């Protein structure tokens, strides 16, 4: 029987407020104790931006000095960062780290961007800017439910998979329809949400908590963000000129409108989507952080497959 391939990368995935940064730091300690040189690489869609670090949670990574992080606070907030662009950035960081003998610890909460970092993501062509601009304008004028109804009329199978509140997926799916790139998937085809074609052997770990505990942590996290000036960050970003991509950061629009309750509701809905995505990942080992276990013991369990043999 062929021996399993030893992982070269640790990938930590989990919902907002689950405690990913703390686990990543503990994993870094465990790797260093075993003679490895760890490097954290963020796979978060919004933490790449400078200027909204409090809102995106990037401040957690920047305010600690135990584990070096890359792809955090690296792009001007005026720039667009598609999954394709991010994939190139992440692949470069991972390849460079491995070539230097380091052990990448990829940390993400966004399914698409985690997949972009770890796999050869098959990306459909971007839409012409005028199509995106028109759909964004229609979204602002008519609201997401109107666009969802339009999608349901032309591709009911696609509309059934997208929540009316998921603005970015609505716009992208309507773009694909207009480009003739929207096709109903074959039910017998392999799951395209995640493929096994990771670029390097990867130890994939999903972090979870009890629902009530996670909800309480979300509220505490949002309270801390607000106290630290997240609303001021949002207003400053708008004044400086913010890209449509950066405006999709969770909480951006509600804070701009002064609607903290909506920010909390939207965050809870987003966390549900993150957990749904994680449950569909083949090969993921779920680690339950409920009741705050000793993170050094958790980290030792996570890194063990990298040290065997």
> Around Cβ 245, how many Cβ atoms within 10 Å?
20
Does the annotation flag 245 for ligand binding? no
Does the annotation flag 119 for ligand binding? no
Does the annotation flag 21 for ligand binding? yes
Q: Identify which of 96, 53, 14, 2 has the alpha carbon closest to the alpha carbon of residue 236.
A: 53
Does the annotation flag 173 for ligand binding? no
Does the annotation flag 17 for ligand binding? yes
Query: CB–CB of 111/195 below 8 Å?
Result: no
d(CA 269, CA 267): 5
Query: CB–CB of 105/28 below 8 Å?
Result: yes
Tokens of 194: 């995640």
| Residue found under tokens 């096994």 | 196
d(CA 170, CA 156): 12
Does the annotation flag 15 for ligand binding? yes
Does the annotation flag 248 for ligand binding? no
Task: Give the CA count within 13 Å in the CB-facing half-sphere of 89.
Answer: 20
Query: CB–CB of 275/215 below 8 Å?
Result: no
d(CA 101, CA 122): 28
- Cβ density class 155-165: b for 16+ within 10 Å, e for less: beebbeebebe
Does the annotation flag 19 for ligand binding? yes
Q: Output the known binding site for substrate.
A: 16-21
Q: Output the known binding site for ATP.
A: 14-21
Q: Output the known binding site.
A: 14-21
């Amino acid at each position: 029987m062929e021996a399993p391939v030893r992982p070269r990368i640790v990938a930590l995935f989990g919902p907002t407020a689950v405690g990913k940064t703390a686990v990543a730091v503990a994993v870094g300690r465990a790797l260093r104790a075993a003679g490895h040189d760890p490097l954290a690489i963020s796979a978060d869609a919004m933490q790449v931006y400078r200027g909204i670090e409090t809102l995106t949670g990037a401040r957690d990574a920047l305010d600690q000095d135990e584990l070096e992080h890359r792809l955090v606070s690296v792009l001007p907030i005026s720039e667009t960062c598609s999954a394709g662009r991010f994939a190139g950035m992440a692949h470069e960081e991972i390849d460079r780290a491995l070539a230097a003998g380091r052990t990448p610890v990829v940390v993400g909460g966004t399914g698409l961007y985690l997949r972009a970092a770890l796999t050869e993501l098959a990306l459909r062509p971007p839409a012409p800017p005028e199509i995106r601009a028109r759909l964004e304008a229609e979204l602002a004028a008519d609201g997401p439910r109107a666009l969802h109804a339009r999608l349901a009329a032309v591709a009911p199978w696609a509309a059934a998979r997208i929540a009316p509140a998921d603005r970015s997926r609505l716009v992208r799916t309507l773009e694909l329809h207009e480009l003739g790139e929207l096709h109903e998937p074959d039910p017998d085809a392999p799951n395209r949400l995640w493929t096994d074609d990771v670029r390097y052997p990867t130890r994939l770990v999903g972090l979870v908590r009890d629902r009530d505990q996670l909800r309480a942590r979300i509220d505490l996290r949002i309270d801390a963000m607000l106290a630290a000036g997240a609303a001021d960050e949002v207003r400053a970003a708008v004044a400086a000129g913010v890209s449509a991509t950066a405006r999709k950061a969770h909480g951006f629009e509600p804070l701009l409108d002064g609607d903290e309750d909506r920010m909390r509701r939207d965050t809870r809905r987003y966390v549900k989507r993150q957990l749904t995505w994680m449950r569909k990942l083949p090969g993921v080992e779920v680690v339950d952080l409920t009741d705050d276990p000793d993170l050094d013991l958790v980290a030792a369990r996570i890194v063990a497959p990298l040290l065997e043999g």
